[in-house]
Structure 1
Amino acid sequence: MVHVKHLWLQNFRNYEEIDLSLPKGKIILLGDNGQGKSNFIEAVGFLGTAQSFRSVPTEALIKQDCENSIIRAEIQHLNRELLVEAEISKARQNKIFVNKQKITPLRNLNGLIPITIFGPDDLNLVKAGPSIRRNYVDDLLVQIHPKNIQIRADIDQVLKQRNALLKQARGRLTDDIAVTLHVWDEKLDALSKKWGEERKSLLETIKTYAENAYLELVGGEVSLDLNYDPPWLEKGLLQVFEEMRDDELRRGTTLVGPHRDEIYVFLSGLPARTHASQGEQRTIALSLRIAGHLLLENVHQTKPLLLLDDVFSELDATRSKGLLELLVADQTFISTAIKPDHVTSAMEINIQQGKILN
């Protein structure tokens, strides 16, 4: 069980101050657009991920004309009582404490409080470009096991160094560039092989969850398949880098690797991105998020905290109802301008211009 029992906010986004006790069950955040519903969801999500699910700099989370922001919450996770405190600062390094113990580095917070966040952009999981599907898989890997946090960070760092070297070369492979480039090649090859195998294993695991969720949502006889099989994974990046050396030197960037992979989704044997209808694509996206939620529940042996940000505005009543039936949590936060008829809530919070009205 994951349950936010009490939440305090200070100078977070458009909130000056909040002090709120929260029940288990479904909590509906009601209000017009631009009033602070998503900001509330964002604050709760930050406590489990140390970042915004909107992919914005942490400085953007601080209320205008303020120097820092505070998020504090009492959280029950299984049999543990956690006091989680986050300080977001413009001038200093951000800090997070759990039961007064500082979390260092911040990425070590991942997985400590299992959370599933579902926003309107997630409905583009199928029809958008490959980066959103890579992030979906990679974010799950990070939440599953702490070791994946470091591997992901190391890949990003090595890629940054390798790209800087390729740009520095300006199309010419000098002896010095060749020696240094080989070092980065070997490091990226070793890290990418681990990451590629982790991705492949994860997709095999969640494929059944996703297909079952899709059938629950729409019925009928269809198949849902996920495919991840980049050619470099079998050949090895070292060989591929040799083959692409001239192109990479000319363009000054790494042209192949886990940062450019595609994850293919097939519905009844056809590519879902090009052949599925918009309704089918959205249902697949829902199924993938449900699959991730169920996987985290199985890994952590507890239902993750569930945050649904303005999802129902893009779904019909049937899919909305199906989503809530399949995404089971001990506590769910739902932001919406209009309360769905099929939702029975434990608490309704009316929000206007960063203030709680009730």
Structure 2
Amino acid sequence: MHLRHLQVADFRSWEHADLELAPGAAVLVGANGQGKTNLVEAIGYVATLGSHRVAADAPLVRHGQDRAIVRCAVVNEGRELTVELEITPGKANRARINRGPVPRPRDVLGILRTVLFAPEDLALVRGDPGERRRFLDDLLVLRAPRYAGVRSDYEKVLRQRNALLKSAATNRRARRADPDALATLDVWDGHLATQGALLLAARLDLVAALAPHVAAAYAGVAPESQPAQAVYRAKIADSLPAGYGVPGGESADIEVVADALLAEMVTRREAELDRGVSLVGPHRDELELILGEVPAKGYASHGESWSVALALRLGSYELLRAEGSEPVLVLDDVFAELDRRRRQRLAEVALGAEQVLVTAAVEEDVPSELAGTRYLVADGEVRRV
């Protein structure tokens, strides 16, 4: 898979940019603030319908404009597809494939797959559990786009159930009886268990497949360090068979997971009513990153943290590649953050990619092995040099 063409209009700082690309390495060089990262952010948006830098769409639209456009041509196994996304904050975004409109933007997912490593990835190790859950869910959608719908449905059910719990908690504190709310809560318990089981079972299977790749990638970039592990910690783990989420273990059974979620909701019902929030479900789980016998968060050095973050991305890349869907590898201004050995290891992986896109403020930061096509990004223009 490779990106042949990228065009943006009113995206971030770009009034307009047009970039022809080819398989192999492409390096975008320019001073900080010239818009290099904005271009790879646009590419990532096509792949995931989200940004690796912000949670909302509004910052993606150039100041003073109503909408942004991202178009790209993707070649996969000799077949080319054109994707266009129209980003309009406050309204429904629109998407086209080969100039024909599609019902939902998420219908474009899977056409372009990317694995992006960026300075923000340090938050995967040092940030809160939500960062790691988002990493898993983004990778889950890259691996199987249908999970975008599962993820969206779960979030909708969770919002509805939380709203009901908040109302019930308010009534309880005011000593107002509300039997209808409790009856309705039973219905939402079922919905949350159904959608939550789909998401949780998929995460368990994903981590079981991903963990060996992460461990191998970490050993490659930090051979002197303690071994790294990625372990999924489900809040309902005690109610699940021991082999779920373990490399080589059995695949998670959705019905078993749903039953475990329902049983835990019954156990936590009083606590949920007191606090007015859902305490059960995959939104409470954690992807634990372990070095030796201790959590990476809080114990890993700065260099080790970078290595773990890099291992997560390289592991993701190798997993997708092993499953027959080689993604575009995007390295956003990361070589300046890595020491010589880590640069070398990353360059070795990048050389094996069908296409790798690199951004750098200083050309000398990019290993000589990645001596592909060079582009200069400056003064609102991007041009091949």
TM-score tier after normalising by the smaller chain length: over 0.9
Secondary structure at 2:297 match in 1? helix
The AA in structure 1 aligned to 2:195 is L
- Structure 1 pair 226–354 and aligned structure 2 pair: CA distance change class (3 A): same
- Percent identity for Structure 1 against Structure 2: 35
The AA in structure 2 aligned to 1:227 is V
Task: Provide the TM-score with structure 1 as the length reference.
Answer: 0.92
CA distance in 2, matches of 1:281, 1:91: 37
Post-superposition Cα deviations, 1:162-209, rounded to whole Å, max 9, x if no partner, equal 010011121526210111001111111222223222212211111111
Partner residue, 1:216: 220
Partner residue, 1:201: 205
- Structure 1 pair 127–11 and aligned structure 2 pair: CA distance change class (3 A): closer
1:191 aligns with 2:217: no
CA distance in 2, matches of 1:346, 1:149: 34
Aligned residues: CA RMSD: 2.1
Partner residue, 1:263: 287
Partner residue, 1:111: 110
- Structure 1 pair 73–250 and aligned structure 2 pair: CA distance change class (3 A): same
Counterpart mapping for 1:87-236 below 5 A: 87-90=86-89, 92-169=91-168, 170-172=170-172, 174-220=178-224, 222-235=226-239, 236=260
Partner residue, 1:65: 64
Deviation at 1:91, TM superposition (A): 7.0
Deviation at 1:106, TM superposition (A): 1.3
Partner residue, 1:325: 348
Deviation at 1:262, TM superposition (A): 1.6
Task: Judge conservation of contact 2:52–2:120 (CA < 8 Å) in 1.
Answer: no
Task: Provide the TM-score with structure 2 as the length reference.
Answer: 0.86
Give the gaps of 5 or more residues in structure 1: none
Partner residue, 1:28: 27
CA distance in 2, matches of 1:138, 1:193: 14
Partner residue, 2:358: 334
Secondary structure at 1:244 match in 2? helix
Partner residue, 1:313: 336
Secondary structure at 2:28 match in 1? strand
Deviation at 1:120, TM superposition (A): 0.8
Task: Judge conservation of contact 2:83–2:108 (CA < 8 Å) in 1.
Answer: no
Partner residue, 2:277: 253
CA distance in 2, matches of 1:109, 1:341: 32
Give the gaps of 5 or more residues in structure 2: 240-259
Task: Judge conservation of contact 1:25–1:345 (CA < 8 Å) in 2.
Answer: no
Deviation at 1:138, TM superposition (A): 1.3
Task: Judge conservation of contact 1:36–1:353 (CA < 8 Å) in 2.
Answer: no
Mean alpha-carbon deviation: is it higher for 60-69 or for 74-83?
60-69
Task: Judge conservation of contact 2:114–2:329 (CA < 8 Å) in 1.
Answer: yes
Task: Judge conservation of contact 2:189–2:262 (CA < 8 Å) in 1.
Answer: yes
1:355 aligns with 2:347: no
Secondary structure at 1:8 match in 2? strand
The AA in structure 1 aligned to 2:300 is A
Secondary structure at 1:34 match in 2? coil
Task: Judge conservation of contact 1:14–1:353 (CA < 8 Å) in 2.
Answer: no
Partner residue, 1:291: 315
CA distance in 1, matches of 2:195, 2:54: 25
Task: Judge conservation of contact 2:94–2:104 (CA < 8 Å) in 1.
Answer: no
Deviation at 1:280, TM superposition (A): 1.5
Matched positions, count: 356
- Structure 1 pair 140–278 and aligned structure 2 pair: CA distance change class (3 A): same
